[in-house]
Amino acid sequence: MSLVPYNGPWTRAEAAHLLRRTIFGPTHQQIGAIANLSMQDAVNQLLTVGNVSPPLAYDAGETVVPQGQTWVNALYPANPVSNQLCEMARVKSLTAWLMKNINYQSMDISQKMLFFWQNHFGVAFSSDARATYSYLELLRTQGLGNVKQLVKDVTINPAMLMFLNGNTNSVQHPNENYSRELLELFTIGKSDQIAPGDYSTYTEMDVAAGAKILSGYVVNGLRSSTLTAAQALFVSFLHDNSTKTLSYHFANASITNGGANEFANYIDVIFQQPEVATYLCTKLYRFFVNYELTNEVETNIIPGMVQTMLANNYDVSPVLFDLFTSQHFYDVALRGSIVRSPLENVFSLFNATESQINVNLATDYNIYLNMYFAASNMGLDFINPSSVAGWEAFYLAPAFSRLWINSTTIKFRFDLSTGLFVFGIPINGYTLKIDTIPFLNNLSLPSSADAVISDICELFIPKPVDASTHSDLVNILTNNLPTFEWTLQYNDYLNNPSNPTFVDPVRYRVQLVLDRVFKMPQSQMF
Amino acid sequence: MKRRRFIRNLALGSASLPFVSNGFGMQAIRQKLFNFSTGAEDRVLVMIRLNGGNDGLNTVVPIDQYANLMIHRSEIILPQNQLLTVTPEVGFHPQMQGMKDLFDQGKLSVVQNVGYPDQNRSHFRSMDIWTSGSLDVNETRGWLGRYFDSYNPTYPSGYPNASYPDPFAISMGSEVTATCQGIAANFSHAVSNPNNAVNLYQGGFSNDGSYYGNHVEFVGTIIEQTNSFGQVIHSAAQAGNSLSALYDPTNTLATQLKYVAQMISGGLKTKVYVLSLGGFDTHDNQADATNLQAGTHAGLLKKVSDAIAAFQDDLQLLGLEQRVVGMTFSEFGRQIESNASLGTDHGDAAPLFLFGTCIQSGIIGPNPTIASALPDQAGIPMQVDFRDVYASLLRDWFQVPSNEVQQLFSHQVQFYSLAGTCNVGNEEIPVAEEKILIYPNPTPSNIFIKVNLAEGMATAEVRDVNGATVRQVFNQHYSDGLHTIPCDLEGLPAGTYFLTVINAGRTRVEKVVKTKN
């Protein structure tokens, strides 16, 4: 039972929905480009991961590599104070770079998949920026690949070993932190507690056995002045060599001593349980489609995704291809069914207005760092998920994505909009304000007030707006004058493209419209 | 304070028996004469969530079990001679001087071995259980959400309004709290700093019934509430005060509690404040290897202890002590045995703290018993169900009738006397059905009104001798039973007034005399 393919009309509306769910803040032209492809070609393009270049040194605290070069394979200073300052510089560079990648995203799903996996594994910052960088690159580059392999790679990744104490889990003193979350959150998921210590899919006995199986790994080279990367090392005398027996949920499987590779054998056993596919597909569904699992979703959609996942031995890409070409995905009832996370909010603002930051290296990184803080203030600190379960908005019933919005965070959203469209935000001597002229010129018919508002609503509001909302926005654009006045004003600007007398009012009216749009409840969904 | 000393070391005979009997004999009569208690309408509950699973055994150390603890957790155990002994059997972590002082003053209690049956060691499931107050996986509402829902079934539609101008609950920070999740919306309002004014653009919106439409309505309502609640919160913060010098500005929990004191003193009628401190998931480096009294856990407990001590000091200086009780909670305790990383893994039951002048002070319940030999992964078995702590607070503190409290929980509630020591005044003064009791009377400023109300709307007004209404006291829905309601007469000229209460078709009038102040 795989998913029923979508065979309705393929228009800008469907293209916009697909793009809103798979990239951050699609532009007017990107929607057009996707609408001009076939649905299959469009989805295939979105499922092809592009490249990004590594983060660059820009801050004075970086004393090992010159500004403008990357530090991801560099040593740290031996002096403890310089070491600390260097790390701070690298963390700033790393966090800014993460935002830059979203701002300069290629037209593929990789940034959303990185977000998905960052939420899935919930790994917080590791204390070595190089380790966190390579961990995040693992998620970004392998996010559409084989999830069984990804779980294996993540298990012994230095960032994860440090995060859930795998690096101190030894035969002498097992530490259950990772073994519990591996089952509960990363693979099979838990269900009702049906007996003491029995969570329907695994038991406390499996948690204890898992800690023994996973024992023996340590992390070496953290912020080292002699090693260019943090490394995971297997130390055999720290490993529990006994034969471990799993619970009846895993057919009482025995895991014999496998040394450095024993953890992988264990993960293979876990992935033999089809509940793993159900757990993962449910998470993918909730992230990309809707939080509510209706009867239809549970009986048709999730099982269809599971079938594809199992048929492809846990590859993610085929599952998402089926989902993004399915009839269900394009159901009008699901448009706008998710409240924008802070990242979607910030980058809807920058990306859909075609505002790619390009001043100079240090200023760009500082601006991106501020974007990072903006999202952080709204509740999403990207390199430090709220907990190992990720952000509550992705799992906590019944509110789910509504948890992004409350009296504190909505005020941040409004303030950010006012700052970027009306007042400008001073950042290290540069005033960041969104220039709406290039954005306007790329719309379908900039000289028509009605067309401008229709295009803007298509970009930022997931469902058509009613006539009175449309006319309210037109009135902001025209300053309550007849619409032909806008046409005249725009044409005056075209004839005098460098004369502020004609350029500034046009730019300003569009800024006011966008500021209003970002303060409408309707634009908080995608 | 003497009274409290008598009841400091109450042994918990068995989990099925109440800790103490009600009634304090002569002491209670003294209370009645000298201490006007406040009514439930005026009371505030402060909840502090210790996120991650607090290690109870290194917080409230059972000194009589020390030898066996040494067998299981020598890597992290606190040196016995450094413990702050509060009773011969119980010592607090050395960083908890502030809470130890409160304990000595009878303003802090420890409820031992709190948990729930069949402990779930998942952070997420366990926190869901604690916030919902239910073991049922299908329960999506919080325990306070159910309480608020029970008399505000249409919330958030039509709120705030004249009867409920203030948020029901405030969650300090940028997240609402799951304890207040109701059917349709969350009853808590997130506040990061009440001193900031809020005035957000409020546009029109409509709901087409789809997921999107429902979200639109939700966000639109939040914007409206942010404005109206923001205004009352800001006014309260402006009107309010904070007097204690003990708040450490670098302690985030202390700063948040300071804001809470400021809002309460500014007259905000919010009943519940929820605060949160993370970092208690101490799988590693819980204690410093070279100095076991230091380390992550020590730093966290110091934050909690200092913050609560400063807050309680502030309440005393503000004259608000009788209006506020607080509690801490955490999703679980940790295992008895430490791990190799100078840490501890997820366990079962743990102690929780209650604080305030109206709580039943002392150590409530016996120390856990630590055997010399333990099965793998052993935690502390639970003796007190946390749901019964909640239920008892609702009954004692918010004076919700016990049958109504029972309806909020799916298990058979066992009530304990935990926060009823200020109720003695209420209980001792009988009020006849047809009467209103006003005290103090005559008064220089404020009075309490004690009145029996029938379920439904009730209004109260202060009228002058000419019959003109000079002050509206309340106009809202009340539950059936005896209520004690504060009334502010500040600003009225000295003279004779008549207090009129109208409820269920009955009008009651009582004279009140305001003196010069």
Residue B129 lies in a domain: yes
Query: In chain B, what residues touch A387 (CB-CB under 8 Å)?
Result: 123-124
Tell me the nearest-neighbour CA distance from A296 into chain B, angstroms. 16
In a domain, B189, yes or no: yes
Backbone φ and ψ of B348, nearest 5°: -120, -110
Regarding whether B268 and B121 lie in a shared domain, the answer is yes
Total domains, chain B = 2
Residue that terminates a domain, selected from B424, B446, B466: B424
Tell the burial category of B105 from Cβ atoms under 10 Å away from its Cβ (0-12, 13-18, 19+): middle
Task: Please indicate if any CB of chain B lies within 8 Å of the CB of A384.
Answer: no
pLDDT at B219: 95
Q: Is A437 on the interface with B (CB under 8 A)?
A: no
Q: Are residues B312 and B439 in the same domain?
A: no
Looking at residue B508, what is its pLDDT?
86
pLDDT in tens, B109-160: 999 999 999 889 888 888 889 999 999 888 889 999 999 988 888 888 888 8
Q: Tell me the C-alpha to C-alpha distance, in Å, between residue A388 and each of A160, A281, B108, B321.
A: 11, 19, 33, 38
A504 is a domain residue: yes
Q: What is the pLDDT of residue A520?
A: 95
Looking at the fold, whether A428 and A513 belong to one and the same domain comes out as no
Q: Are A211 and A169 in contact (CB under 8 A)?
A: yes
The residue ranges of chain B whose pLDDT is under 50 are 1-38, 427-428
Same domain flag for B319 and B187: yes
Q: Is residue B137 part of a domain?
A: yes
Please answer whether residues A182 and A152 qualify as being in contact, where contact means their C-beta atoms are separated by less than 8 angstroms: no
Q: What is the pLDDT of residue B431?
A: 64
- Residues B397, B461 within the same domain: no
- In sequence order, what are the beta bridge partners of A427? A430
CATH number at residue B438: 2.60.40.3080
Contact assignment for B124 to A462 by CB distance below 8 Å: no
The pair phi, psi for residue A39, each rounded to 5°, is -55, -45
Cβ-proximal residues to B363 (8 Å cutoff; 6+ apart), any chain: B8, B9, B10, B86, B87, B89, B90, B109, B110, B112
Check whether residue A135 and residue A75 sit in a common domain. Answer: yes
Q: Is B354 exposed, middle or buried (0-12, 13-18, 19+ CB in 10 A)?
A: buried
Residues from chain B that touch A174, judged by Cβ atoms under 8 A, are 339-340
Domain presence at residue B443: yes
How many structural domains comprise chain A? 5
Model pLDDT for residues A264-288, shown as the tens digit of each residue: 999 999 999 999 999 999 999 999 9
Clarify whether residues A191 and A163 are in a common domain: yes
In a domain? residue B63: no
Beta bridge mates, B50: B277
Domain that holds residue A97: 47-145
Statement to judge: residues B414 and B452 lie in one domain:
no
Considering the domain architecture, whether residues A70 and A127 belong to the same structural domain is answered as yes
Averaged pLDDT score across all residues of chain B = 86
| Cβ separation A336–B200 shorter than 8 A | no
Instruction: Please say which residue of B382, B398, B424 terminates a domain.
Output: B424
Q: Is B210 in Cβ contact with A333 (below 8 Å)?
A: yes
Of B395, B424, B453, the residue that ends a domain is B424
Are A154 and A267 contained in the same domain? yes
Q: Residue B308: CB partners within 8 Å, gap ≥ 6?
A: B48, B98, B99, B102, B108, B257, B326, B353, B355
> Taking CB atoms and an 8 Å cutoff, what residues of chain B touch A202?
none
Q: Which chain A positions have a beta carbon within 8 Å of B223's beta carbon?
A: 410, 521
Q: Do A176 and B345 touch (CB under 8 A)?
A: yes
Asked if residue B192 and residue B105 are part of one domain, the reply reads yes
Note whether A232 contacts B: Cβ–Cβ < 8 A. Answer: no
- Distance between CA atoms of B33 and B27, rounded to whole angstroms? 10
Q: Using CB atoms, which residue from B123, B191, B345 is nearest to A175?
A: B345
Q: Which of A387, A407, A422, A466 to mutate to test the interface with B (most CBs of B within 10 A)?
A: A407
Q: Is residue A334 part of a domain?
A: no
Task: Looking at the structure, tell me whether residues B343 and B356 fall in a common domain.
Answer: yes
Is B399 domain-assigned? yes
Question: CA nearest A389 in B: which residue?
Answer: B124
Helical (H) or strand (E) element with A181: helix A177-181
Q: Which two tokens stand for residue B415?
A: 């009530």
Which of B415, B306, B422 minimizes the C-alpha distance to B357? B422
Residue B151: per-residue pLDDT? 84
| Residues B80 and B117 occupy one common structural domain | yes
Q: Are residues B481 and B374 in the same domain?
A: no
Convert the pLDDT of each residue in B297-307 to its tens digit: 999 999 999 99
Compute mean pLDDT per 10 residues along chain A, 526 residues long, and list them. 91 98 98 98 97 96 97 96 95 97 97 98 94 98 98 98 94 92 96 91 96 96 96 96 97 96 98 97 98 96 98 98 98 97 97 95 95 93 93 92 93 92 88 95 97 98 94 92 92 94 92 95 96
Do B463 and B413 have their domain in common? no
Nearest to B183 by CA among B220, B146, B217, B157: B146
Task: Report pLDDT digits (tens) over A286-296.
Answer: 999 999 999 99
Q: What is the span of the domain harbouring residue B508?
A: 429-514
Q: Could A521 and B210 be called an inter-chain contact, meaning their C-beta atoms sit closer than 8 Å? A: no
Same structural domain for residues A447 and A424? no
Does residue A123 share a domain with residue A31? no
ipTM of the modeled complex = 0.94
Three-class secondary structure assignment of B52-77? CCCCHHHCEEEHHHHHHHHHHHCCCC
In a domain, A68, yes or no: yes
B393, B443: one domain: no
State the pLDDT at residue B6.
28
State pLDDT tens for residues A199-214: 999 999 999 999 999 9
- B242 and B386 part of one domain: yes
Q: Are residues A247 and A175 in the same domain?
A: yes
Residue B154 lies in a domain: yes
